[in-house]
């Protein structure tokens, strides 16, 4: 009898400790980040999450907050041409889509060069051209605010792309944020993603479950792109180090990308903006 009482007491204590852990768990840190970095297995999104979970608040200011880890959302009014809920930069008569930008003077020369490399990486094989702002009303204002984030598509007027130095100044991160500014959501947010990947809900850090919601946008009739720079990694937001996204029908597929755009990412740009392939 005493033994049973003792056992009950011990299990109650363990339960209480567990509950306390859940309720008062310290700030989440990216589990297994170091190991994956050593293995060379990180994605641009892993870099972004690391920077944002440490630096970026979930609310950028009183009118904007972050969705899906790094997409700034505000309640502002839209007046642009929009397609499938995303507003597009306009195409010039010469067939190019010019995106005017202003680069903060707070970046060093080396950092500015890195950001420009990101722009060139998007321009190669696509109809997008980044041009320093002269008189344009609509432009992206690239600055080292807290974390790495961007608004989705064109907003009209000045819109911030935050690339904090040095954490966000990696090619994959820079191109990822520019892709958001051009109007692309994360690849695994596609509404047909369940045909291609399994979301392992129990393994996801519970405070960030919403970052795995689907987004009703156009797939542009392009194949699901496992290696998109816009794809979360296999362990993104893992609570315990277990995978949060598993590709269906294959063990050999790598999710995401750390360096730059995939071939399909470039096709996506040309299709969304109705440009010819420029290879
Ligand atoms: Zn993103």
Tens digits of residue pLDDT in 126-145: 999 999 999 999 999 999 99
Angstrom distance (rounded) from CA 185 to CA 180: 6
Å from CA of 17 to ligand 1 middle:
36
The pLDDT of residue 20 is above 60: no
Q: Which helix (H) or strand (E) holds 247?
A: strand 245-247
Mean pLDDT of the chain: 85
Task: Give pLDDT, residue 29.
Answer: 59
Å from CA of 177 to ligand 1 middle:
6
CB atoms under 10 Å from CB of 68, counted, come to 20
Mean pLDDT across the stretch 4-14?
50
Å from CA of 186 to ligand 1 middle:
6
Task: Give pLDDT, residue 79.
Answer: 55
Å from CA of 273 to ligand 1 middle:
20
Angstrom distance (rounded) from CA 88 to CA 155: 9
> Exposed (0-12), middle (13-18) or buried (19+): which is 252, by Cβ within 10 Å?
exposed
Calculate what percentage of the chain has a pLDDT beyond 90.
62
Mean pLDDT across the stretch 208-222?
91
Active-site positions read 177
Q: Which residues contact 276 (CB under 8 A, 6 or more apart)?
A: 95, 127, 270
Tell me the sheet residues that pair with 103: 142
Binding site annotation covers 55? no
Of residues 54 and 103, more confidently modeled: 103
Among 24-33, 136-145, 217-226, the minimum mean pLDDT is found in 24-33
**Domain boundaries along the sequence of the chain:** 44-209+221-273
Mean pLDDT across the stretch 12-33?
49
Of residues 276 and 210, more confidently modeled: 210
Binding site annotation covers 18? no
Give CA separation, 33 vs 29, 149, 259, in Å.
9, 20, 17
**CATH of region 44-209+221-273:** 3.40.390.10
Å from CA of 90 to ligand 1 middle:
22
CB atoms under 10 Å from CB of 120, counted, come to 11
Å from CA of 32 to ligand 1 middle:
20
Q: Which residues contact 62 (CB under 8 A, 6 or more apart)?
A: none
pLDDT digits (tens, 9 = 90+) for 164-192: 999 999 999 999 999 999 999 999 999 99
Using the Cα atoms of residue 219, residue 222, residue 227 and residue 230 in order, give the sign of their dihedral: negative
Å from CA of 173 to ligand 1 middle:
8
Of residues 151 and 59, more confidently modeled: 151
Mean pLDDT across the stretch 19-31?
48
SS3 74: strand
């Amino acid at each position: 009898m005493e033994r049973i009482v003792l056992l009950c007491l011990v299990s109650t204590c363990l339960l209480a400790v567990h509950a306390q852990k859940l309720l008062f768990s310290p700030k989440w840190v990216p589990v297994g980040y170091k190991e994956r970095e050593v293995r060379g297995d990180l994605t641009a999104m892993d870099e972004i999450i690391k920077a944002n979970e440490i630096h970026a608040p979930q609310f950028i200011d009183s009118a904007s907050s972050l969705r899906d880890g790094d997409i700034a959302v505000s309640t502002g009014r839209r007046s642009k041409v929009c397609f499938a809920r995303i507003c597009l930069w306009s195409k010039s008569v010469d067939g190019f889509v010019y995106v005017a930008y202003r680069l903060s003077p707070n970046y060093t020369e080396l950092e500015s060069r890195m950001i420009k490399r990101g722009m060139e990486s998007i321009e190669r094989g696509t109809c997008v051209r980044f041009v320093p702002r002269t008189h344009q009303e609509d432009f992206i204002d690239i600055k080292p605010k807290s974390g790495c984030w961007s608004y989705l598509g064109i907003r009209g007027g000045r819109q911030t792309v935050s690339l904090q130095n040095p954490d966000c100044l990696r090619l994959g991160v820079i191109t990822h944020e520019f892709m958001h500014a051009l109007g692309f959501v994360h690849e695994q947010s596609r509404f047909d993603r369940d045909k291609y990947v399994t979301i392992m809900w129990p393994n996801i850090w519970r405070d960030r479950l919403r970052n795995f919601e689907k987004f009703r946008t156009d797939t542009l009739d392009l194949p699901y792109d496992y290696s998109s720079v816009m794809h979360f990694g296999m362990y993104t937001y893992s609570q315990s180090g277990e995978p949060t996204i598993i590709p269906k029908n294959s063990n050999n597929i790598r999710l995401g990308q750390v360096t730059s755009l995939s071939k399909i990412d470039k096709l996506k740009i040309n299709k969304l903006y109705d440009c010819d392939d420029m290879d």
